Structure 1
Amino acid sequence: MSVWALGLNHTTAPLDLRGRFAFALDQIAPTLQSLRNSFPSGRHPQVEAAIISTCNRTEIYCASEHIALDHTVGWLAQSGGVAPTLLRSHAYTLHDDEAARHVFRVASGLDSMVLGEAQILGQMKDAVRAAENVGALGTTLNQLFQRSFAVAKEVRTATEIGAHSISMAAAAVRLAGQLFEDLRKTRVLFVGAGEMIDLAATHFAAKEPKSIAIANRTLERGEKLATRFGGEAMRLADLPARLAEFDIVISCTASTLPIIGLGAVERALKARKHRPMFMVDLAVPRDIEPEVKALEDIYLYTVDDLAHVVQQGQANRQAAVAQAEVIIDAGVQSFMHWLGQRSTVPLIQQLNVQADEWRAAEMARARKLLAKGESVDAVLEAMSRGLTQKMMHGAMAELHSGDAASREQTAQTISRLFLRKER
């Protein structure tokens, strides 16, 4: 059995290209089914698969008897509407120990834009549950991911990898503080009500802004989040008319198209008499049209723009990274040992079946002899002799066949298997 991974992330692909391959959580199940159905059933029956898709990465993990990286690249390129050559130029392909090492590093926060961040672990667990629910996760990938979670837990427990991490939300607050002298005088709008917006709202609320509003497609969910921060909730449809009210706009939805357009921002700036607006687009694909960034008095940042801020202070964590890599190395070796053992499972099963057949045959023969009145000692002697002959027959036949070189090799193997001294 082999495992392989195909992915693109914030270090290999620009934001707009990553946006073509972003899958919302509710899209994972049908996407996995499409992927698995695309493999030729003859050579790749029942391919295991899982997809991790976040604002910083999209990764496909597969397991099967034969590696099919080219096919996986072709399928993903087609799903994103790009040429396979373009995808390959921005993607990475890994297999076996390399794939295991990568997924362990991702789970541990070593491959994130924010070194040591813990959010990716929850996103990976969501991806694994989605794969399980659709029946795409078999024994091999389940072992790979469960071991990655265990390694991540050990890394966070045994090292200080996350002690100095700066989240995307904290970076946004820091940048906003550079534009506005006093964040307590600002009005903040959050677009969306997911985990990232929840985190961002928590950080901004700590600065006690003048007001907080949550705009969400589902008003009830927006109201629930707004209540926590003493803010108001509004419908997404009302956003263009009210955009001018806000100094800071943080957006992160699962929309496949931008929801804040150039025209709406231009009208808001006019109504604000060109007072500056600070905007952060944390969504992949984008929530805010990229042309907005060219407007005067608009300070627009994307997830990639925040990279420099969140990477500051990385030197403080290098010792923790070295410790984490040692833990990951051990985890990779353990997984590869398990994977190697998996290849012998069919042979072990066949040996057990064969041994049971021999045992059953000798037991039946022994019962017949006992029924005829043979002594117990004689029956036990015959049964043990019969089992011994069956066990030794194959080895003895091999010793008497083939050329001298093959007989010598067979003799060494048989000596190792049958002439071991008990310790």
Structure 2
Amino acid sequence: MAGSVDVPAVTLATCNRLEIYAEAPSESKHDLAASRDELVEAVAEASGVARDTISSSFRTLVEDDAVGHLFEVGAGLDSAVVGEREIAGQVRKSLAEAQEAGTVNGTLTRLFESATRTAKDVGARTALGSRGRSIVSVALDVAGDLHGDGAAFYPGASVVLIGTGAYAGTALAQLQERGVSDISVFSGSGRAGQFVAERGGGARALAMEELPAAFAGADVIVGCSGGNRQITADEIRRLAGVGDDGRDRPLTVIDLALSHDFTPEVAELDDVELITLESVKMAAPQETENSVEQAREVVQASVREYLEERRRRTADDAIVALRKHTQQLLDGEMEKVRKQHGCTAAAEEVEFAARRIVRKLLHTPTVRAREMAAEGRSDDYVQALEDLFGLEVGSREETERRQPAKRRRAEEFSAAELAQMAAHLQKVPDGGFCRHHSPGEFQVERLEVAQRLTEAQAS
């Protein structure tokens, strides 16, 4: 979805949320509204859901509010299970995927990296980090309690896992931690075998024809595929043998998919308990007030630090813009002097004096820029520069999307490029990086074909 819009964007999709972090071209109401409309259109196009429904389903947070929200999300303070541990990894993974796809820019990269560091600080400095709870772990705890044995239920249990995504991976790990040895994995996409192999085995991949027998022998069925098709109550009754004389134990169905892998009617079946995200949230243990308050203090301090750093960067950008503007004026005037007087000692004296005057003139504006940044008034300073000098203060850092670097193969270089490489390599000592550095100071992998050209030209 992020790849279909023009603005830099990162999508954060978890079992119960879809969030999109994007940077509009400016802070104007027009640009903010236009960027939001573009994102809404992209979600509607990707999901097939009506645009009005998409628009009304999202709430929009801007600037500081958006920063604070992401930091809380990453720390697990906005989760169904407060302090859940998976969300920080999902925040980190979202950034990595955006970087790989080339939909992110420098601003969003720093934002997500800061949120990840904050989540680590919360884990290290508060009691939330030691709980190790997650939506998956709470759901499995509830299932164990429903069977009356708690943790002792799982070593002898038979579990069918539906799905091969991130939450399926978490569920498999949690089941293995609880001592479950009979785990079967099914995926309608056919990826179950690869999923199991990538996680070191410990489970069995199911083919479609094996599903009825697996359901019939299961104590727990965990759904976290988030696919378009839901398993109905009638299918559970038929496949798992519910209500028949052949089934002699209760069945627990855990639905961890936001779009639901099972229809609500499953809960009405005899001897079947349905656990959903909503019931997990209700059953989640309440964290102590002190732990949550400590975590919020860590998050708030990190948000303040991030925003202060961003204001300092804005002030630095303004200083650079002012200095560049002044330098351009000075260079223009000195060009006139040189045309009239040539590169004489007198011209050099004039330039020396002019540059000294410029440095003194810029001292006070530079100091005030940093003072106003510390006061949270960087925008006032930028506005003043724009009003007084007609400057357009932009970020020195990359604001466009960062396209992923592409490594070119030898056959992708033209003959002219290879000849240019060969000519350059002739000037470089063996083992060197360039003619300005001694051999061994740097090392660089050379294209074999360029090396052959060098040798041919030398001979």
> Shared fold by TM > 0.5?
yes
Residue aligning to 1:245 = 217
- SS, match of residue 210 in structure 2: helix
Q: Alignment length, in residue pairs? A: 349
- SS, match of residue 136 in structure 2: helix
Q: Structure 1 pair 320/228, CA: closer, same or farther in 2 (3 Å)?
A: farther
1:302 aligns with 2:270: no
Residue number among 43, 52, 77 corresponding to 2:12 in the alignment = 52
Q: Give the unaligned 5+ runs of structure 1.
A: 1-30, 37-46, 371-375, 394-408, 415-423
Farther-moved stretch of structure 1 (358-367 vs 109-118): 358-367
Equivalent-residue separation in structure 2 for 1:172 and 1:368 (angstroms): 82
Tell me if structure 1 keeps the 8 A contact 2:162–2:185.
yes
Equivalent-residue separation in structure 2 for 1:383 and 1:339 (angstroms): 30
Farther-moved stretch of structure 1 (106-115 vs 150-159): 150-159
- SS, match of residue 169 in structure 2: helix
Equivalent-residue separation in structure 1 for 2:222 and 2:269 (angstroms): 17
What does 1:241-320 align with in structure 2 at a 5 Å threshold?
241-258=213-230, 260-267=231-238, 268=240, 269-271=242-244, 272-273=246-247, 275-315=249-289, 317-320=291-294
Residue aligning to 1:180 = 147
Equivalent-residue separation in structure 1 for 2:118 and 2:136 (angstroms): 26
Superposed CA deviations along residues 252-308 of structure 1, whole A, max 9, x for unmatched, are 1242322x3332201121454473210101123222222212222111111222012
Aligned residue identity for 2:194: R
Residue aligning to 1:33 = 3
Aligned residue identity for 1:221: Q
Equivalent-residue separation in structure 1 for 2:294 and 2:355 (angstroms): 58
After TM superposition, give the deviation of residue 83 of structure 1 in Å.
Answer: 5.5
Equivalent-residue separation in structure 1 for 2:354 and 2:320 (angstroms): 26
- SS, match of residue 163 in structure 1: helix
Equivalent-residue separation in structure 2 for 1:362 and 1:159 (angstroms): 65
Residue aligning to 1:71 = 37
- The two structures, once aligned, show a CA RMSD in angstroms of 3.6
- SS, match of residue 250 in structure 1: strand
Q: Structure 1 pair 240/365, CA: closer, same or farther in 2 (3 Å)?
A: same
What does 1:135-284 align with in structure 2 at a 5 Å threshold?
135-182=102-149, 183=153, 184-209=155-180, 211-216=182-187, 217-224=190-197, 228-229=201-202, 231-236=203-208, 238-258=210-230, 260-267=231-238, 268=240, 269-271=242-244, 272-273=246-247, 275-284=249-258
Residue number among 48, 65, 75 corresponding to 1:98 in the alignment = 65
Equivalent-residue separation in structure 1 for 2:303 and 2:97 (angstroms): 28
Tell me if structure 1 keeps the 8 A contact 2:75–2:118.
yes
Superposed CA deviations along residues 194-218 of structure 1, whole A, max 9, x for unmatched, are 4323332333334444732222332
Q: Which has the higher strand share?
A: 1
Equivalent-residue separation in structure 2 for 1:342 and 1:389 (angstroms): 21
Aligned residue identity for 2:12: I
Question: Identity of counterpart residues, as a percentage?
Answer: 23
Q: Structure 1 pair 250/352, CA: closer, same or farther in 2 (3 Å)?
A: farther
Equivalent-residue separation in structure 2 for 1:238 and 1:352 (angstroms): 76
Equivalent-residue separation in structure 1 for 2:82 and 2:307 (angstroms): 24
Superposed CA deviations along residues 54-105 of structure 1, whole A, max 9, x for unmatched, are 1121011111213126515742673445556655554321101111111111
Equivalent-residue separation in structure 1 for 2:118 and 2:133 (angstroms): 22
Equivalent-residue separation in structure 2 for 1:118 and 1:77 (angstroms): 27
Q: Give the unaligned 5+ runs of structure 2.
A: 362-383, 390-459
Residue number among 378, 381, 385 corresponding to 2:349 in the alignment = 381
Superposed CA deviations along residues 130-172 of structure 1, whole A, max 9, x for unmatched, are 3223332122222222222233333333333322342222212
TM-score norm. by structure 2 comes to 0.65
Tell me if structure 2 keeps the 8 A contact 1:250–1:280.
yes
Tell me if structure 2 keeps the 8 A contact 1:48–1:63.
yes
Q: Structure 1 pair 293/388, CA: closer, same or farther in 2 (3 Å)?
A: same
1:124 aligns with 2:91: yes
After TM superposition, give the deviation of residue 356 of structure 1 in Å.
Answer: 6.3
- SS, match of residue 104 in structure 2: coil
- SS, match of residue 301 in structure 1: strand
